[in-house]
Amino acid sequence: MNKFVNGCKFLALTMIIIAVLAGIVGCILPAIKINNEGMDHFHKQEYEQAITDFSQAIKLQSNNALFYYNRGSCYYQMGQNEKALADFNKAIELNPKSDKAYNNRGLVYSDMKQYNRAVTDFNSSIKLNSTEALAFSNRGLANYYLGQYDDALSDCNKAIQMNPNLDKAYNNRGLVYDHNKQYGLAIADFTKATELDATSPMPYSNRGLTYYHLGQYDNAISDCSKALHLNPELETAYNNRGIAYNDNKQYDLAVADFNEAITRNSSDAIAYSNRGLAYSYLGQYDKAISDYSRAINLDPTLVNIYNNRGWSYGDNKQYDLAVSDFTKAIEINANDALAYDGRGLAYCYLAQLDKAKADFDKAIELNSTDAAAYYYRGMLEYRLGSYDIAKQDCHQALNLSTNTQLTGNINKLLDALNKY
């Protein structure tokens, strides 16, 4: 009797286990099928439908790290960083050994400009899988944005050594070379990246920026236009092409490009600053000042914006405000010769000549090749009646000047001085 009862209990328990297993399998198999359908949509860049599929898979099997990872990847591609971060956090919680989840979360942190956190995640990814070239490349880019250029270069070199066909690594190394003013090496790397993936817009935009640094504005404009043909939403390419238009004296086209950049990212301080510069070249100083003020509100640490707004205030004959901005620029960077130039000139217009001379002296001390500072000080000495000293400064400025307009102004002042 006891054996019969025990046998019944064993049979009942077996039936329960089978039922439970059947239920689990009944959830797993449909979930995997739906996940695979989501992956098909992902590869077709149909991200919204892919998210729907991955979400359904998660409902069926909520402890599967892969499903969260896949959905997070969709959110990342769509620029929904907060949702992507939540999914990668969950994927890592469920599977702390997933190097890819750490790598992708690092990408999200990079997009959010949390570069120290990004580096920490790339470190974790590399620790789990030291053979993944992409993680080294990604860490290199994060180090680049942190200003750790030697580390960035080392990471990119490692990535290229591991995978010579990794286009992103060449693009990232090109950024480092560009920063280091190794423009030939930068162009070679960006070109290699375009050869490996002709559909990626960023290497074209970045190579355009390097051409800009070389003063090859037509090449810069051409490359940025190519980038925008590949991705009309690429804010960076509008910015890069805009600054090339600015220096090419195509100011209306520059303004149009900065408008496009701002439309795509209204919190980009650099785009407002660049548009302000274009407006200043057009003589629209009120618009320039407005854009510089917006840029400063977005990022008060950018010293060049204070300088640029200071020059616009000066052009607008608001000299006290100009002095204030140049003083702020000097507080941020006490070695900024351009800020001393600007403030000295503003002091001249305010008839505070001793302060003006002190600023021009400081500018020359900081940069002995500053032709404008010698010219401004020469004007001041001319105004004070110190004609011989003024002539010395003007001749020095003339020897240093590479700017046609400045050279013309120096010659005019020398003509006036030669009467004495």
pLDDT per residue as tens, the chain (420 positions): 444 344 444 444 444 444 443 444 455 678 899 999 999 999 999 999 999 999 999 999 999 999 999 999 999 999 999 999 999 999 999 999 999 999 999 999 999 999 999 999 999 999 999 999 999 999 999 999 999 999 999 999 999 999 999 999 999 999 999 999 999 999 999 999 999 999 999 999 999 999 999 999 999 999 999 999 999 999 999 999 999 999 999 999 999 999 999 999 999 999 999 999 999 999 999 999 999 999 999 999 888 999 999 999 999 999 999 999 999 999 999 999 999 999 999 999 999 999 999 999 999 999 999 999 999 999 999 999 999 999 999 999 999 999 999 999 999 999 999 988
Distance between CA atoms of residues 342 and 359, nearest Å: 9
Q: Which two tokens stand for residue 255?
A: 């303004």
Decide which of 124, 146, 179 is a domain's last residue.
Answer: 124
Phi, psi of 160 (to 5 degrees): -70, -35
Decide which of 75, 100, 124 is a domain's last residue.
Answer: 124
What is the reported pLDDT for 12?
46
Length of the chain: 420
25 occurs within a structural domain: yes
DSSP label of 313 = H
405 occurs within a structural domain: yes
312 occurs within a structural domain: no
Q: Burial code of 91-105, b = ≥16 C-beta within 10 A, e = fewer?
A: bbebbeebbbbbbbb
Q: State which H helix or E strand residue 420 sits in.
A: none
Distance between CA atoms of residues 169 and 153, nearest Å: 10
- Residue 281's CB is within 10 A of a number of other CB atoms, namely 15
Distance between CA atoms of residues 274 and 226, nearest Å: 21
409 occurs within a structural domain: yes
How many structural domains are present in the chain? 2
What CATH number is attached to the domain comprising 51? Answer: 1.25.40.10
What is the reported pLDDT for 27?
53
Residue with tokens 């510069």: 277
191 occurs within a structural domain: no
52 occurs within a structural domain: yes
Q: Which two tokens stand for residue 319?
A: 């000299």
DSSP letters, 183-251, are HHHHHHHHHHHHHH-TT-HHHHHHHHHHHHHTT-HHHHHHHHHHHHHH-TT-HHHHHHHHHHHHHTT-H
Residues 57 and 38: beta-carbon distance below 8 Å: yes
Domain hosting 377: range is 372-420
Question: What's the whole-model pTM score?
Answer: 0.83
71 occurs within a structural domain: yes
Residues 137 and 118: beta-carbon distance below 8 Å: no
Distance between CA atoms of residues 401 and 395, nearest Å: 10
356 occurs within a structural domain: no
Residue from 108, 154, 100 nearest 131 by CA: 100
Decide which of 124, 153, 186 is a domain's last residue.
Answer: 124
Question: For residue 66, what are the contacts with CB-CB under 8 A and spacing of at least 6?
Answer: 35, 91, 95
